Amino acid sequence: MANVFFKDAVDEHRLMDSALAMEYVMEETQIVDELKYLIRFKYRINTIMPADCKLIAKEIRLLTKGNISVTTIKRLLGFARIKYNFSKYTLRLLSDFKAEIHEQLNSDCWQQVMVKSSGVTNQTLLRIKSNSGIPYKHTINRKFAQQHFDAFLNSDCAFTCFISQPGWGKHILLSQLARGFLSNPVHEGGALLFLAIYDFLYEDFEALSISHYIKNKLGIDPALDLVEYIDHNCKNSKFVIFLDGFSRVKVKSNIKIHLFEKVHRFIEEIGNSRVQLVMGIRSADWAIFTKGTSYLTLFKRKWYPGDYFDPENNSNVPPLGQDEIEQILTSINGFDTILQEELKPCLEVPLYLQSYYELRNDLPYSHAGDITSNQIIARFIKFKVADSNYFTEKMYLINKLINYGKTRFGINKQVLAPAILAFGNAYKELLSDGILVERHCMNRKFDKGVNVCFAMSCLYDYFLRLRI
């Protein structure tokens, strides 16, 4: 009995150590990210180079009376290899240095807004990084998204959205774009504010507009007009606002509609200004978002849809290309990976990369090419269906769908209405996990309205084999 107690105590101690280590790494990452921005902003350095490390070490010594080596600065900024975590003394010194720069910048209200914007953005980016399905270092910046974003910034449109079904990598896509914007000297003088929309709901949601929420976040005088204030200070540059996290807003449908109405009003406010809005949104939410637009013609004029928008599927995010999949797999495996044709239909959806990564870690180094599409799907289904609290209900809905046969357009939602009504939570999870999708068949002569089908044909094939 004593041994069991001792083992439990040791396990608990290890968990605490692990949690503390994770907290330490997050604190370190946050300090480093904020400091990089502040150094560029304070000392007017577009791109920090190794030669700047000596100046930075000198400034730290002058402002904090503490010494930090040039080599440590190089490690901090990624110019030298990091063999171990920074010491508590180093982190404390960097925090003091950060606080001193903050104090100097506080004399200028706009600089203070820029610094607060950077702090909020770094927090959001850190959250996305920690929630990535595969380690963030293996993710990539998608070329189509960069082209879409650059074209939008050069347009007169007020907002754009990256729209897709669940699991197509919108969070990572937006985070890569944000990091690229902040590190690009072309955008010097501009700013980027990355907000998680679900944080808005924890504020006084009913009373606040999105403009007021942003002013509260950035410490701007509530009496000021947000757009006029930004236009006055941004001059010829851009103030880009990213809104993400709509899929994590698990609220009643009427509250989500109310939230979208606030976004509509904000889009009206920022028209013809230096402010541009970028959102990541699911296809189902996009249908709700656009349904509430009574000013549809004006709405479309303000919206940049990109080159890949598909109105039937409500999506403008294309699947991963073969070169993109090979780039990710090579990063994961540590050597050039030739994509097997059998894996391509599965891995072109980022959702399944997590299952691939987990399977890869279970295999010997030389057997990375042995992973099959069926293994990936099986692992994914195990977590999303077999281990679910709604396993029975989900399988009932899946079998119901299979009974009607495999068609490109699926089944009209009305046919499944009784089963959906009975097992609403299970149905919502199947949608949010990217197993089933709802497609709006507006342009077809038959089956008009919403059709339900499997998100991918390989999912249908898997469940069909399972039943047989």
pLDDT value of position 18: 45
Do residues 288 and 255 lie in contact, with contact meaning Cβ atoms separated by under 8 Å? no
Segment holding 324, helix H or strand E: helix 322-333
Do residues 276 and 238 lie in contact, with contact meaning Cβ atoms separated by under 8 Å? yes
Residues in the chain: 468
Question: Helix or strand or coil: residue 294?
Answer: coil
Q: What are the pLDDT tens digits along the chain (468 aa)?
A: 444 433 443 344 444 444 444 444 556 667 777 777 777 767 766 678 888 888 888 888 888 888 888 888 888 877 877 766 778 888 888 888 888 877 766 556 788 888 889 889 999 999 999 999 999 999 999 999 999 999 999 999 999 999 999 999 999 999 999 999 998 888 877 899 999 887 777 666 676 899 999 999 998 988 889 999 999 888 778 999 999 988 776 666 677 888 888 999 999 999 889 999 999 999 988 988 887 665 566 677 899 999 999 987 889 999 999 999 999 999 998 888 888 888 888 899 999 999 999 998 887 655 566 788 889 999 999 999 999 899 999 999 999 888 876 555 678 888 889 999 999 999 999 998 999 988 876 554 444 578 898 988 888 888 888 876
Angle at Cα 455 formed by Cα 451 and Cα 459, nearest 5°? 125
Amino acid in the structure at residue 112: Q
Q: Could you give the CA distance from residue 221 to residue 288 in angstroms, rounded to a whole number?
A: 33
Q: Could you give the CA distance from residue 91 to residue 103 in angstroms, rounded to a whole number?
A: 18
Strand partners of residue 161: 279
State the pTM of this model.
0.76
Do residues 196 and 122 lie in contact, with contact meaning Cβ atoms separated by under 8 Å? no
pLDDT value of position 32: 74
pLDDT value of position 407: 54
Segment holding 101, helix H or strand E: helix 88-105
DSSP string for residues in 119-139 = HHHHHHHHHHHHT-SS-GGG-
Q: Could you give the CA distance from residue 167 to residue 171 in angstroms, rounded to a whole number?
A: 9
Residues 6 or more apart in contact with residue 433 via CB below 8 angstroms: 166, 167, 384
Amino acid in the structure at residue 15: L
Structural tokens at position 36: 């990089």
Do residues 247 and 166 lie in contact, with contact meaning Cβ atoms separated by under 8 Å? yes
Q: Could you tell me which of 330, 332, 325, 370 has the C-alpha nearest to residue 350?
A: 325
Question: Helix or strand or coil: residue 193?
Answer: strand
Q: Could you give the CA distance from residue 99 to residue 97 in angstroms, rounded to a whole number?
A: 5
Amino acid in the structure at residue 370: D
pLDDT value of position 8: 41
